[in-house]
Structure 1
Amino acid sequence: MPLGSHRRRRAGRAAVAAVLTATALLSFPAIAEAKVTRYRSGSAGDVSRPSWNGPAYTMNGSGAIVPATMTKAVDAIRGGSGSIDVTVLAASAASGSPTPECDVITGLPNVNSCTTYVLTSAQDASNTQVNTDVRNSEFVYFAGGNQCNYARWKGTPLQASVQSVVAKGGGVGGGSAGHHINSSIVYDACAASTDSATALANPYDRSVTFTTGMFSWPNYGDTVNDSHFVTRDRMGRTMAFVARALKDGLTTSGKAWGVGVEEGGSLFVDRNGLATLAGQDAYVVLGDHAPEQVVSGRPLTYSGFKIWHLTPGSTYDFANRPTCGYYTRSVVNGVPDSNLYSGTPVC
C-alpha cells in the first residue's frame, strides 16, 4: 500500500465561525467523471499587496497542521503587516471534516482565507480555477495521503503555480505525503511502499522509486524527506534513499541529506534556510561519499552516515549546513548499527 494511504488525515480543532462553501467544478468537458471539489473558509475575497517577505516552509512528519510552525510561516510571509490566503491541496478526501487543515489554519492569526481543493485526477492539475486560487494565495499546503498522486503533477500548470507562490515571497509546506513532495528528491512510492528492512536488503527493490525535477526550494537542495520517522522505524530506509541518491547521481553536490521528521514534529524553514523544530524529534542524515555497495539485488553497505538528532526548539541551517554536531552510524551487508536514533556527537 502506498505511503500513508492507509492512514486517516487528522481533523484539526473544531471549525471556526467562517464562511464555508463547497463547489464541484468539471475539470475537462471530455471527462465528465473528473471532478474538482473546492471548499473555502474565511473571507470570500483575496488579499492584495505588491510584495511578500518569504519564502517560508513547514515540513511536517504527519499530515496535520502544527500551529506553532504554521504561525511562524504566516508571520514570516506577511512581514509584520496584513494577512495571507492559504490553499490546501489534497489528492483524496479526508474522513470526518472535509477540511481538517483549514479548520486549524483559519483559527490562526492573520489568515484571510483558506481554500481546500480535492483533486482526484492528475488532469485536475490543469484546472483553471485551481491554478488561479493557488497563484492568488501566499501559502500552499500539501495534505497527507499518497505522494505518488502529487508526483504525477510534475510538468503540469499546477507545479508552476506552486513555484510561483514561493517566487513571489510566499511559502509552501506539507505533512506526511506532503512532506515527501517538498524535497528535491522525492521518494514517490509509486510502485509500492517500502520499509527499512526491504530497502536495506536491496536499495533497488521495486518499492524504492524516486521523482526528481519537481520542486527545488531555495536552500533546501539535495534533500530526500521522510515522515512518521521513529514511529515507523524509517531510519534504515532513509539511509538507503541517501545511498541511492548518491549512486544514481540525483544530487548536484555529490552529497545527499535525508530529512526525517517524527509524527507531530514540524520544521519551520525561514527565507535564510534556518530550520527550527517544533513538536517532536527530527533527524538529518548525511551521505557525503560514494557507497561501498549499492547494487541491485544486493544489501547496502555504507560506512559513516552522519546523523544530526534534532529535538524541539533546536535548529539546523540548510543554507550553511553544519560540519559538527553529528554522530555516525554504518550499514554492513544490509545490517545497520544499533542505536540508530541516538548517539554522542563526534564534534
Structure 2
Amino acid sequence: MPPISRLAAATAVAVLAGTLIGTPAHAAVTRVRQGSSTDVGRAAWSGPAYTMNGSGAVVTATMTKAIDAIRGGSGSIDVAVLAGSAPTSGSKTPECDTIIGLAGVNSCTTLTLTSNNDGNNTQVNTDVRNAEFVYFAGGDQCRYANWKGTSLRASVQSVVAKGGGVGGGSAGHHINSDVVYDACTGSVLSSEALADPYDRYISFTSGMFEWPNYANTINDSHFVARDRMGRLMSFVARSIKDGLVSGGSAWGVGVEEGASLFIDSAGRATLTGPSAYIVLGDHQPERAVAGQSLSFSNFKIWKLAGGQTYDFANRPTCGYYLRSVTNGVAEANLYNGTPLTSCPPPGGGGGAGYAEAEPNDSRTAANSIASLTYPATVTGTMGTSTDRDYFATTLASGQTITVNCAIPSAYDADLYLLSSSGSTLVRSVNDGAGADESLTYTRTATGSTTVYVELEAYSGSGSAAYSCTVAK
C-alpha cells in the first residue's frame, strides 16, 4: 500500500476535530460544532441584541444578556462563530469554548473561513441562517469586509431580521459598525491619522451592515490601551467629509480592552467593563485634506464607565465634554473631561453652533447668528444647484470677521460677505468640488452694522453638509 500523502494526512486530522468543507484546490473551511447536533426550531425570537467588545474574547456578562434577550428568557439558541483564521496557539475554538457553557445555548459552531469566496459556501450559509446569534472573532476585519460581496452578508443580516443578534470583539467589533475601518492597507496610529486623515493606512468599507438604531457609527477597539482616540477622531472627520454618513454627523464608538457594550432591541447600550467612548462629530471639519494635518473643533465625547448607558435610538444632546484638534495636534486629556450638563437649544440661540433653518435663501430671510458665542460653527447644505444660504450677524467699528468654510466633495460652493445693502465686501471663489473657502474683513467705518455671510452653490448640490467657522 503506498504511503499516505501529506495532504491526506492533514485532512484526516482536521476531520477528527470537526468537518472540512471545500476542495483540495485551496484551503478548506473548517467547521467544528459543539453541543447539540440538531438546531432548535422556533416561530419567533425576541431580539435583536448586540455585543460590541473592545478585545477579541467573549465577555460572558454581555453575551448572557444577548442570549436571554433573544430567547425571551426561555428555550435555547444556536450560535455561529465566524473567524478569518484559526488561532495560532491553544484551542481552535476559543469563543465557542466559552459560549457553549452559558445557559440557554443549544449549540455553538465555529466556522473558519480562509478565502474570500468561502462566504459563498453552502454549509457556512446554512449554519449562519440556522443560528440565532453570529459572533465575529478577533483577527482581520479586512477579511470580513471582503465577505461583503458574498452570500454570507445576507445570511448574517437574516439572523438580525428574524430577531436574533450579532456581536464580536476587536476586528469583530469593527465589522459591525455602519462605516468600517477595514485596515485593508494596514493599521494606522493616532499620530499618523491626525497628521494626515487621508494617510495610506486609512481605508473604509461602507454598506456592509446597517443595524437598527446604529446608523452613522464607526467602531474602534483596544481603545485606551493603544491610545486610539486621535485616530477615531480622524475616522469621524473623514466619514463626514467624504459623505459616508447621512445628516453630516458621525458617531465613533471606542471600546476598551476587556469592556463590552450590550445593545438591546430598543437601541440602549449598557457597558460592562472599564470604559467606552462615544465621539460625535456634528459638523464639517475645518480642514481634512490629503497630505495635510487635521483641524476639527469641538468633538463631543461621552465617556462610559461600567454600568452606564448610551441611547443610540435617542442620542443624547448633553453629558459630553469637548475636545478639538488643531493642525494635527489634539487637546490634552482626551480620555477625561467634565461633562456638559446644560446644552444650548437646537439652531443656535446663544450656543457656539448653528444649523441652517430653511428658507434662508435671501438677505430678508437670513438666519440670525448674531447671538452666538464666537468663534461659532455654522452648518448647512447646498440642497439644489441654485441654493443660497444667508446668515446675518453684526460687525462693530474696527472689528474683524473671519470665515473659514469646509466644503464637502459633493459640490462647489462660493463664499461671500455682504454689506447691509447687499453689496459684496469680500469673497472667496476657489474652483472645484470640495474646495474650501475662507475670507477676512475688517470694518473701518464708525458704528455697528449688519453683515451677511452667504454660501452660494456654484456647481452641483447634495445632502452632505458644509461647515463654516465664524470668528470675530
**Same topology, TM > 0.5:** yes
C-alpha separation between the residues in 2 aligned to 1:313 and 1:253? 30
What's the CA shift for 1:80? 1.6
Q: Is 2:80 the partner of 1:87?
A: yes
Amino acid across the alignment from 2:148? K
Amino acid across the alignment from 1:33? H
Q: How does 1:168-179 map to 2 (within 5 A)?
A: 168-179=162-173
What's the CA shift for 1:32? 1.6
Task: Tell me which residue corresponds to 1:12.
Answer: none
3-state secondary structure, aligned to 2:239: helix
Count of residues paired in the alignment:
325
1:65 equivalent among 54, 58, 61: 58
What 5-or-longer segments of structure 1 have no aligned partner?
Answer: 1-19
TM-score (norm 1): 0.93
3-state secondary structure, aligned to 1:32: coil
C-alpha separation between the residues in 1 aligned to 2:17 and 2:328? 52
Q: Does the aligned pair in 2 maintain the 1:55–1:77 contact within 8 Å?
A: yes
What 5-or-longer segments of structure 2 have no aligned partner?
Answer: 1-15, 342-472
Amino acid across the alignment from 1:62? S
3-state secondary structure, aligned to 1:24: strand
What's the CA shift for 1:252? 1.4
Task: Tell me which residue corresponds to 1:4.
Answer: none
Q: Does the aligned pair in 2 maintain the 1:21–1:40 contact within 8 Å?
A: no
Q: How does 1:327-346 map to 2 (within 5 A)?
A: 327-346=321-340
Q: Is 2:195 the partner of 1:201?
A: yes
RMSD over aligned Cα atoms: 0.9
C-alpha separation between the residues in 2 aligned to 1:80 and 1:36? 33
2:284 equivalent among 274, 283, 290: 290
Deviations 1:213-258 (A, max 9, x none): 1001000010000000000000000000000000000001210000
C-alpha separation between the residues in 2 aligned to 1:314 and 1:214? 28
Deviations 1:123-182 (A, max 9, x none): 100000000000000000000001000000002100000000000000000000000000
C-alpha separation between the residues in 1 aligned to 2:329 and 2:280? 18
Give percent identity, aligned residues only: 70
Amino acid across the alignment from 2:18? A
C-alpha separation between the residues in 2 aligned to 1:195 and 1:54? 36
2:20 equivalent among 13, 24, 27: 24
Deviations 1:36-77 (A, max 9, x none): 000110111000000100000000000000000000000000
Task: Tell me which residue corresponds to 2:47.
Answer: 54
2:248 equivalent among 251, 254, 264: 254
Q: How does 1:1-347 map to 2 (within 5 A)?
A: 21-26=17-22, 29=23, 32-94=25-87, 95-347=89-341
Amino acid across the alignment from 1:179? H
What's the CA shift for 1:346? 1.4
C-alpha separation between the residues in 2 aligned to 1:289 and 1:245? 11
Task: Tell me which residue corresponds to 2:417.
Answer: none
C-alpha separation between the residues in 1 aligned to 2:274 and 2:118? 34
What's the CA shift for 1:21? 5.0
Amino acid across the alignment from 1:45? T
TM-score (norm 2): 0.68
More contact order relative to length (CA 8 Å, sep ≥ 6): 1
Amino acid across the alignment from 1:24? L
Larger Rg: 2
Q: Does the aligned pair in 2 maintain the 1:202–1:296 contact within 8 Å?
A: yes
C-alpha separation between the residues in 2 aligned to 1:123 and 1:253? 35
Deviations 1:67-124 (A, max 9, x none): 0000000000001211000000000101210010001001110100000011000010
